[in-house]
Each structure stands twice: as structure tokens, then as C-alpha cells.
Amino acid sequence: MTGIEKELRAVVAVPLPEDLCRLIEEIEPRVEVISDHALLPPMRGPADWSGDPEYTRTPSQQQAFDELVDSADALFGIPDVDAEALARTVTANTRLRWIMTTAAGGGATVKAAGLDRDALDRVIFTTSAGVHGGPLAEFAVFGVMAGAKNLPRLLADQGTRTWPDRWEMRQLDEMTVLVVGLGGIGAECARRFHGLGARVWGTTRSGEPVAGVDRLVRMEELTEAVAEVDAIIVTLPGTAQTHHLIGAEVLAAVKPGAIIANVGRGSVIDEDALLGALDDGRVAFAALDVFEQEPLDQTSALWTHPNVLVSPHTAALSAKEEERIARRFAENAGRLLDGRPLMSVVDTEEFY
């Protein structure tokens, strides 16, 4: 014990290793972190917040778990990453002040809980947005490089042991890359592409400059901008405003041979329109880590399209993810106790 009076009772509502529970307390000693690992499903791998689906609680264990989360001032994670459990907990626990979702897109679960305005105003919801920026930016770079170097052609020739005449590959330092969404992930993408010599454009609502971005593009100018760039990186959250933003109109305007990478949310891209653009060559290559429906439907043409790279929403996964999120929780806990604004607060109108 440190002798410091604890000011915030934080209950861990999803699987989290014990050493990271203690790390939170070390970073912010005013927080008491409570976790009963016997009441949480075991993780099957890094950042497996839902845990083993075969795990079930006995009635007495469920009662103990509910009583535990109902005693919290703050929750690390949405209980069982489940909207119904979230709704029950917020209703039952009137002392609850703050919940941090372990997902960057945790606002979707908050929305699905159907909480009333009083509950949404009483509890602060934050996400892990930005924690995954580095790994996702690396996937975006990988996707653009795969398209620029024509990875599908290389693999096809290798598979048939074909040694063709030499052919030209595109160079990243001769390309213009448009980052659609300059939040935490977008800023990391911009930094990496700028470091590799690309000219970087980025869409913005605020108009605030972002390091590594050569030109800021207003969202109203998106259709005009895509006609001038070689690659488009999508980092936007899934909201009513962003649904199918990259749709038929935008894809009809792209510069022929454009490369697309999506590390935001699958709903931002109209997949039918994307397939049409891939088929007629307007889009030369698409690297997708997210999809409108996940898991991707077995009948989707994206699985077999020769110029599509399918990643099963795994680009953000890292052995360090759990620690990064624990550190984010500790930092936000300090902000809460000091009366300062928290990072990555969910907009409870648009839920991102």
C-alpha cells in the first residue's frame, strides 16, 4: 500500500492481466483497481477482451459479477463487451461516473445499449481511440506498398513460376496520398507516409494543421480531391454521417489506378461500389482491414477478387495493446480526478 487515499474505485469488467491492473495503480495511485479473475473469461490471445466464448458463469458467479460492477465509480471495459450488460449496469449503478471501452469504436456498443439521455449525461464514456494508431498506420502503409508494387501480380507469377519481362513499379515518394480523417489514426498515417517521401493530403473539419500533411482538404472537396491523388487511406469512424461516404460518386471520380486502404470502419466504404471500381480498373488495389459485415460473408466477391487484400480486422492487434489501453485508462483516471477533460470522449449524439 502506498498510504495514498484512494479516490476512485475502478472495477475491471473485461479480462485484463493482473500485472496491468497493478500498473494502473502505479501510474495513478489515487485509483483502486478491483478485478476478480475468477469471474472473467480467459483471454485466448492478446487483447481478447470478450474472452473465451465457452466460458459461462454460474448463477452465483453472475450475481457476484453484477454486484462487483455495480460497486464501481469507473469501469475498465464494458461488462462482457455486451450492450445489454452495459444497459443493466448503468441503470443499476447510480454512482458510476465513467466507463472506458477497450475498443476504439466502442461508441457503437454504447449506442446499442439504448441508454436514455439522463444516463448518457450522467456517465462519461471514453474509448481507446488513438491507442491503435501506430499498428493501423503501418497496415495502411503496407496496403499502399502492396498496391504500388503490384503484389497480386508478383504472387501470381511466383505461383506459376513465371519470369516475365521486367515491368515498372510505382514509387511511394512520387505519389500523393489522401488520408480521409485526420484523427489519431489519420495523424499517424500522415506521419508515416510523409516520412516515406509521399505528398500527403488530409480531410479536415476543423481546419487545424496536422504534422506531415501538405494540404488540408475540406470534406466538401472530397470528390474533387480524389481525382488528383494516387492512394486513399480511410480512417473514419462508422456514423450516420460517414456511412458510404466512399460510395459511387466518389469512386467514379478517383484517379484511374488509385489504391485504397481502409483502417477505419467498414461502413464508410460502399463495398458494391468498390467492387465496380475494382472491376473497371478505376481502383487498382484495395487493402481492407474492416468490412460492412464482420466476419465477411462467405459469398462476398471481395474474398476472391484478385486486387483485394482481405485482413480480418486484425491490423490493430499487438502484444502491447493491453498495456497501451491500461496506460490510457490510468491517464484518463488522473484527468477525471483532477477535473480535466478526458481523452477520446464518446459523442453521445453520433456515438463515436
How many Cβ atoms are within 10 Å of 111's Cβ, its own excluded? Answer: 17
Active-site residue, 305 included = no
Catalytic residue among 132, 191, 192, 265: 265
Give the integer Cα–Cα distance in Å for 269 and 244: 5
| Cα-based distances in Å from 34 to 15, 71, 72, 135, 276 | 12, 10, 9, 30, 52
- Cβ contact 306:159 at 8 Å: no
- Cβ contact 98:123 at 8 Å: yes
Give the integer Cα–Cα distance in Å for 176 and 227: 11
Active-site residue, 244 included = no
Q: Which cell is 213 given?
A: 500533411
Catalytic residue among 44, 218, 294, 340: 294
Give the integer Cα–Cα distance in Å for 178 and 225: 8
Catalytic residue among 30, 97, 282, 313: 313
Q: Any idea what DSSP says for residue 14?
A: S
The DSSP code sequence of 138-197 is HHHHHHHHHHHTTHHHHHHHHHTT------PPP-GGG-EEEEE--SHHHHHHHHHHHHTT
Give the integer Cα–Cα distance in Å for 48 and 234: 25
- Cβ contact 207:216 at 8 Å: yes
C-alpha closest to that of 330 among 34, 104, 26: 26
Q: Across the chain, which distance is largest between two alpha carbons, in Å? A: 73
Q: Any idea what DSSP says for residue 134?
A: H
- Cβ contact 179:158 at 8 Å: no
3-state secondary structure of 74: strand
Residues 6+ apart with CB under 8 A from 236: 180, 181, 242, 245, 264, 265, 268
Q: Is beta strand 8-12 parallel, antiparallel or unpaired with respect to 98-100?
A: unpaired
Active-site residue, 323 included = no
Which positions are annotated as active-site residues?
265, 294, 313
